Structures are given as C-alpha cells and as structure tokens.
Chain A
C-alpha cells in the first residue's frame, strides 16, 4: 500500500526503525558514561520519591564555603 494514509513503510519493522530522536541521541553516548548513568539511576538512594532535600543543602554549603575561601584569600597576611 502506498500514498497518503498508508502505514509508514517501517511501522512494526526492525526495532532500529522505531527509534525516536532521543533514542538515537542515547546510542551515540559514551558507553562508560551511559553505564555509570544507568547504574546510578538504579541505586536504592535514587528510588522515585526519595527525599533529596540534603542535595540542595550540600550545594549551598559548598557555595558558602567557596565564597568564604575567596574572602579569606583577600586578607593581607604580610
């Protein structure tokens, strides 16, 4: 069957033919990074609805620490 309204030629064909643009992006990814990402996503601490309030706290603490280090570096120690 051809023409308008006909099923696409590849519908239901080889899985590669059904890949989305996002799938193709993932295929080109560095395999080490991909393996790490999938491993981390499957860890118990990353279950859906996990409480991640501590992440914001840690990022904020690191930022404050860096700011204080910069301020300390400006102190004349001679």
Chain B
C-alpha cells in the first residue's frame, strides 16, 4: 500500500484521515504478480472502467503493461477504486518492500510503505496536488510534533 491511502494508515484516528478516491497498490514488476492481482480483483467484482479486465491469462499483454509502466485502475460497482502501480516516484518495489511496515486489516496482514518514503515520493512527484497535500499534512502535525519534543 502506498500513496495517500498508505499515508492514512499512520493516522492516529479517523479525524485526521485524508479523503482519497483510490487505494494505490504497488506491485512487483512481474507478470505473475499482475496476473494474480487482476484475477483477485475480478473475483471481487472489480472492473476496468466499466469493462471487464483484459485477458488476465495473456502474459504477453501483461508483460507489455509492466514494460510500459502502465497503471491499472480497477473500479468496484460501489465506487471503490484500486490503482495497481508498477512503480512509485523515486522508489522501486524492492526499495519499499524491504522495510515496509506490517499492519493488519480485517485479520489479514498488509504491508504499507514507510511513511518517510511515501511522503518523499510525493515531494519528488511535485505535482500541484502533491505540494498542497504535503503543505496541509505538515501544517496539521508540525505543532504537535514539536510540542512533544
């Protein structure tokens, strides 16, 4: 788990959770990993923008998607969105997976990228929405952190 959703996993309580429309999942850049993720999402009722997923058994297609670094957006009928990402700005999968934090969701262990790296990736992305997110994130927590020192 990466992105704003990943950053939310470090929040103290629901009052400081940031609204985001999607969950960003970073996958190892391998065909078998992408195939497994797409198959699991299809079984859970997710689709690709109103269409069924591409043929998840076609390794050539999956391989080209990884080669081009394409994100895959999966949408559930209820509106939940999951982005499968082959890379994250500034970090490879192994950079994040090596020291990812392990949390539990519904009895299942999930790995969330270290907060420092998720924030750094947003800095590196440097899009207007990333800059605004970081500005608000720092403004919200700066006083609390400095007051605790």
Contacts and interface: CB of A to CB of B under 8 A. Distances in A.
Interface of A: 21-22, 25-26, 29-30, 32-41, 43, 45-46, 48-63, 66-67
B13 to A, nearest CB: 8
Given A25-B120, A33-B123, A52 B105 contact: yes
A58 B79 contact: no
A37 B119 contact: yes
Contacts of B70: none
Contact of B115 (A40, A54, A57, A66): A40
Given A22-B91, A30-B138, A34-B116, 12 more contacts: A25-B117, A29-B119, A29-B120, A29-B123, A32-B138, A37-B116, A43-B12, A45-B12, A51-B103, A57-B14, A59-B5, A63-B80
Chain B, interface residues (CB within 8 Å), range: 35 or more
A45 B8 CA distance: 12
A61 to B, nearest CB: 8
Contact of B8 (A32, A37, A59, A66): A59
